[in-house]
Amino acid sequence: MAEKSLAERDQALIWHPYTQMQNAAAPIPIIRGEGVFLYAEDGKKYLDAISSWWVNIHGHSHPYIAKKVSEQLNRLEHVIFAGFTHPGAVELAERLINILPNNQAKVFYSDNGSTAVEVALKMCFQFWSNQGMEKTKVLAFNNSYHGDTFGAMAVSARSAFTRPFDKLLFEVEFIDLPNQDNIEQLKKQISSLKTDLSVFIFEPLVQGAGGMQMYEAQHLDELIKHCRKENILTIADEVMTGFGRTGRLFASNYLIEKSDLMCFSKGLTGGTMALGITTCSKAIYDAFLSDDKLKTLFHGHSFTANPIACASALASMDLLLEPETEQNLHRIEMKHKDFAAKIISHKKVKCIRQTGTILALEWETFAETSYFNSLRDNLYNFFLDQGIILRPLGNIIYIMPPYCIKNEDLDYIYTKIEEALERF
C-alpha cells in the first residue's frame, strides 16, 4: 500500500483555523522557508505576500534570528516567570520601552496578540475597580478586530465569525471610524456614554482583519484626546501595525496623543516565535500597587516571556533597527504608490488604499459582496496557482510583504494582480 502523503496524514487528524473542514482543499505542505519564499513538498515555491498572517517581517528562516534562537536554546529554554526572570526578558523590555512613545513605562509578557489584548483589557477594568469604580463598558470601532479569545472577540466587531458567541460577549459600544465630517458627532457620542466607559481600544491607522480600512492620524488624535478628557483609558492595539508595518516603527508614531496601553505580537519576534506584550503607563501600573493583595493583576500564562521567544524578538529588533530595514520600508512604500497610481482607474478597482508597506485593493464586484463570496476563493486560488500567497478578505486583496522582498518580486505580484483584474 502506498505511503500516505503529509496532506493526507494532516487531514486524518488536524482541524485547521478558519477552515470549513468538510470541503477544505488539502493543505499545502511547506517544508522549508527562505526569504520571502516558502517551499512546498512537491518543489513548488510560494511568494509569501502576506507575511504568513502578518507576522514575518524579515523573511523566513532568517539566519541571524536562527543563530540567536539556537544559542538561546542551548542556554535556557524556559523558566517560570513568576518569582523569576532572565536576561532576554529584561533586555527586551529595556529596548522596547526605549523605542516606544515615552509614556509607556511597564512591560507585561504573554504569548500572542489575543492575550496581549486580554491583558490590556483586564488592566483597564481592574485599574478602575482597584480605585473603587465599576467601569466595565468598552468603546471600539465598527469593523474592528482584536483577536479570537473571548475578551478580544468581545471588543471586535460583531460578524459572521462571532455570531455563535454574540450572547456571551460583554457590552461594547461601537463607533464609526473618524473622518473630517463625523469627528464632532463621535465626540458627542462618547461624551454621552462616558460614565460607563472604561476604555477605548483601537487599531491605530489600519484596521487589519476588518478589510484593511485606513483612517487619519489626526482624527484618531482627536478621539484619544477627547477620551482622556472624559476619563476613558485608551489601548493602541499595535499587534498588526507594530514594528515597521505602517512605514514607521509603530503606527502610534504618527500620533501626537499617547495611548495609556499598547499591545504587540506578530512582528515582535520577526514571526519566529509566539510572544505577546502589553505595555502601559506608570499611572496604570501604580493603580495595582497596594498592601491589599486583592489589587494584584492575577494573570499569567505558562509560557510568559519564554526565553526563546525573547531571543527571537531581540534578534528581530536588531534587524528592524538596521538602516537597511528603514530603506526597505521606504522602497516598498514607493513601489506600492507607483502601482496604486497605475491601476487606480481600472474599472474593477473600487478603491485602493495604502499605509506604509500595506497596499489594499477593493474589487468592484457589481454585486453584493461578502467574505464568503466566490470571488474571494477564485482570487485566492488564482494567486496560489501563480505561486503567490494572498488571502483576500472578501473582495479586498492586500499585499503585506516581509520587508526584505525584492523589487522584482513585488513587480511579479503587481503583474499577477493586473492579470487578475482582467480575469475576475
Q: Which residues belong to the active site?
A: 18, 145, 237, 266
Amino acid at 411: D
Closest distance to ligand PMP from the beta carbon of 19 (Å): 15
User: Radius of gyration over alpha carbons of the chain, in Å?
Assistant: 22
Looking at residue 316, the DSSP 8-state letter turns out to be: H
Q: What beta strand segments (E) does 159-248 contain?
A: 172-175, 197-202, 206-207, 213-214, 233-237
The answer to whether 136 and 151 have CB atoms below 8 angstroms apart is no
Complex with ligand PMP: residue 54 or 339, whichever CB lies closer: 54
β-pairing verdict for 45-48 and 206-207: unpaired
Complex with ligand PMP: residue 161 or 382, whichever CB lies closer: 161
Closest distance to ligand PMP from the beta carbon of 421 (Å): 27
Please, what sign has the CA dihedral across residues 42, 48, 314, 145? negative
The answer to whether 326 and 356 have CB atoms below 8 angstroms apart is no
Complex with ligand PMP: residue 190 or 209, whichever CB lies closer: 209
Closest distance to ligand PMP from the beta carbon of 390 (Å): 16
Overall residue count recorded for the chain in this entry: 424
Chain positions contacting ligand PMP, by CB under 6 A: 112-114, 117, 145-147, 203, 208-209, 237, 239-240, 265
Q: Using CA atoms, how far apart are residues 293 and 299, in angstroms rounded to an integer?
A: 13
Alpha helices in 321-406 (DSSP H): 323-343, 374-385
Closest distance to ligand PMP from the beta carbon of 259 (Å): 14
Q: Which three cell numbers stand for residue 131?
A: 480605585
Closest distance to ligand PMP from the beta carbon of 274 (Å): 7
* Residue 111: C-alpha distances to residues 36, 67, 90, 310, 375 (Å): 24, 22, 16, 11, 35
| Residue nearest to ligand PMP according to CB distances in the complex | 113
Q: Using CA atoms, how far apart are residues 231 and 174, in angstroms rounded to an integer?
A: 18
Complex with ligand PMP: residue 72 or 156, whichever CB lies closer: 156
Q: Using CA atoms, how far apart are residues 309 and 255, in angstroms rounded to an integer?
A: 29
Q: Using CA atoms, how far apart are residues 196 and 134, in angstroms rounded to an integer?
A: 8
Q: Which residue has the cell 516581509?
A: 402
Complex with ligand PMP: residue 56 or 265, whichever CB lies closer: 265
Complex with ligand PMP: residue 203 or 260, whichever CB lies closer: 203
Closest distance to ligand PMP from the beta carbon of 203 (Å): 5
